[in-house]
Structure 1
Amino acid sequence: MLLRVLSQNLAYGGTADSEGRPDGRWDPLMAAIAAHAPHVLCAQELARWEDHSHQRLAAAEHALGLRVLGGITPSRSANPTAVMYRPGPLRWTQWETRYARELHHGLGVGVLEVDKMALPLTVISAHLTPYSANQAAIEAQIVAARAWRYQGAGIVAGDINHFPLDDQAPASESIPRYNRSSRWTRDASGDWVPNRIVGEKLHAGGLTDAALHLSRHRGDPDLLAPTAGKVRVDQAHLTPALLPALVDYTVLDHGHSDHAGILITLDTDLIDTAAAQPDWI
């Protein structure tokens, strides 16, 4: 089975701007996602999806042909995340939110059974805090640990908000100061350089950046295209069991959000069960 996992930051719920004013993005945004027929959607910034008796959530399920897995995450920022899945070939078995309050935007860990897949698939829709690379690194450590929790076939996809391990950085003077304070640091000579601590922690936690892996394998730097704010902040990270199954990665720059989407494709026949591990706490 070719399993398509799409991640999209919807920007304030996909229905309005930062001030809550309707902006007409909903229908084209839903259409842009549905066009790729994802089996799994990792969605971020679901502001107001639970307002008015969950009408926005219901509308998304109908528009996309997906169901929300477990529920929308508890979120201190009122801008939560969710995992959605395609019923039929996928069935959800667990939804863990025990560490949701440890992350600024919330955390939910979904576990899915997938047809003809020997291991359960663990999926995290990640949205790390934008306000501090050091705080986001702590959040990344939690996320990496939970990705391993359910037998080791895990994917973390979402708005990581910070520099990947090895991408080329934009000129520091082109970055707003509030972003420099949270995502940059000074080197020994006093020059501004990207703070890569989040990418380092995810890598140390046994996760591999899907775009970087395929870019190196194919010799294709275009896979490292920025997704928002001149940086590839939207990322997908895989545990070792899923890495051999990674067959494609695409940036979806549809223009209906302030973030491009990302789409990864996994061939479930190529999953390395020997690289997984038993449950742990």
Structure 2
Amino acid sequence: MPLTVMTYNIKTGGRGRLDAIARVAAAQRPDILALQELRAFHRDDGRLMRTLADAVGMHPFLARSWFAQPVAVLVRDPAWVVSAAPIRRPFHHAAERVVVATDQGDLTVVGAHLCPYSGWRRRWEARWLAARTDPARLALVMGDLNTLDPWTDHTERLRRLPERFRSRHLMPRTDGEVDTRAIRVLAAAGFVDLFRSAGHGDRTGDGEKDYTAPTAHGGGQEFHAMRLDYILGTPPVAALARSCRVVSGGETESASDHYPVVAVLDLEARPAALRTPRGRG
């Protein structure tokens, strides 16, 4: 069976929307799910985290935040997990690193949420993520990276963005140069944007979104048709990617201000005790 991975920013802890968020996630049946903006999920001995994890039938690995909101990586079967731990760096939000066993070798999954306010800080956070991965091995970085990609003309969407939010996406002391540094750092480290390589980023008229924020009814005035949520893979993962798409419609339009992103990989998870060394079937 192929491996389905998903990333979803649920907006400030999903207050009053957790049931809808769980239904959105469960409908995609992810094997690995990266969640961001888990406000208060670490409190009361992780009660909210357990509630959402139980609702989607997954096991959570939570990373508390240094300054803002936690993130988590959820795995459908905890027996797949080789190791799990937060990345110990002063992220504005947080990052969690989980290694799962597959038929092609261990897969490292990093779920992250980069700083929304400072491109300089996002660049450093991207460097911390890149330093924890080997581009020759199976690895994913998933999450709300709060950064526009360097391969697209963003002039019109930034023009239509309210001025008070526009500076978050522009290089300081330049004449309107778009700040894409965090994505460029990860691309330079060998990561491939699966939406571009295996998705529908070059297609129009098929009804699929090419942006992740905002949704139709979830708020998000700080966005205007912006792709800020990514699934990035090292070349070995990109070669195994069947598809990558933004999920929209139905409850995704109000469950959060971000749409989830889902990718399908030609990998099969297996119990860690039975994991296969890389390069063997």
TM bucket by the smaller chain?
0.7 to 0.9
Amino acid at match of 2:263: I
SS at match of 2:84: strand
In 2: Cα distance, 1:138 partner to 1:9 partner:
21
Which one of 210, 233, 252 corresponds to residue 225 of structure 1? Answer: 210
Alignment correspondent of 1:48: 40
Name 1:251's counterpart in structure 2.
246
Following TM superposition, by how much is the alpha carbon of 1:175 offset from its aligned partner in structure 2, in angstroms?
A: 1.8
For 1:266, the aligned partner's letter is L
Partners of 1:163 and 1:183 within 8 A in 2: yes
> Could you tell me how far apart the structure 2 residues matched to 1:213 and 1:196 are?
18
Worse-superposed segment, 196-205 or 165-174 = 165-174
Among 54, 57, 60, which residue is 1:65 paired with? 57
Q: 1:65 to 1:205 in 2, by over 3 A?
A: same
Counterpart check, 1:237 vs 2:232 = yes
- Residue-by-residue CA offset, 1:176-200 (whole Å, 9 max, x unaligned): 3343222113797x3x232121221
1:209 equivalent in alignment to 2:209: no
Larger RCO, structure (CA 8 Å, separation 6 or more): 2
1:263 alignment partner in structure 2: 262
Taking the aligned partners of 1:2 and 1:171, their CA distance within structure 2 comes to 35
Return 5+ residue gaps in structure 1 as ranges. 16-23, 275-281
Q: Deviation at 1:263? A: 0.3
**Which residue of 1 is the match for residue 275 of structure 2?**
none
Residue in 1 that maps onto 2:216: none
Corresponding residue for 2:96?
108
Report the AA paired with residue 226 of structure 1: Y
After superposition, give the CA deviation of every residue in 1:65-98 in whole Å (9 maximum; x if it has no partner): 00013xx11312331111000117x511212324
Deviation at 1:215, TM superposition (A): 4.8
- 8 Å CA contact 1:122, 1:155 repeated in 2: yes
Identity %: 26
Q: Distance in 2 between matches of 1:187 and 1:47?
A: 34
State the AA in 2 paired with 1:163. L
TM-score, normalized by length of structure 2? Answer: 0.83
> Which residue in the other structure is 1:196 paired with?
180
Task: Please name the residue that 2:141 is paired with.
Answer: 156
**Superposed CA RMSD:** 2.3
The separation in 2 between residues aligned to 1:232 and 1:219, in whole angstroms, is 14
Q: Which amino acid aligns with 1:2?
A: P
Contact 2:244 2:261 in 1 (8 A): yes
Residue identity opposite 1:248 in structure 2: S
**Which residue identity lines up with residue 205 of structure 1 in the other structure?**
A
Contact 1:113/1:120 (<8 A) preserved? yes
SS in structure 1 opposite 2:177?
strand
Aligned equivalent of 1:18: none
Closer, same or farther in 2 for the Cα pair 1:106/1:242, shift >3 Å? same
Residues 67 and 91 of structure 2 are in contact (CA less than 8 Å); yes or no, is this contact kept in structure 1? no
Correspondence for 1:10: 10
1:129-178 per-position Cα deviation (integer Å, ceiling 9, x unaligned): 011112101111111221328x7210001101011121231343322334
* Residues 187 and 193, structure 1, Cα contact 8 Å, conserved in 2: no
Aligned residue number for residue 165 of structure 1:
150
Q: Which residue of 2 aligns with 1:82?
A: 72
Q: Does 1:27 align with 2:26?
A: no
Q: Secondary structure at the match of 1:107?
A: strand
Q: List aligned pairs for 1:178-197, cutoff 5 A.
A: 178-185=164-171, 190=175, 192-197=176-181
Separation in 1, partners of 2:87, 2:4: 27
Separation (CA, whole Å) in 1 of partners of 2:172 and 2:39:
35
C-alpha distance in 2, partners of 1:111/1:57? 20
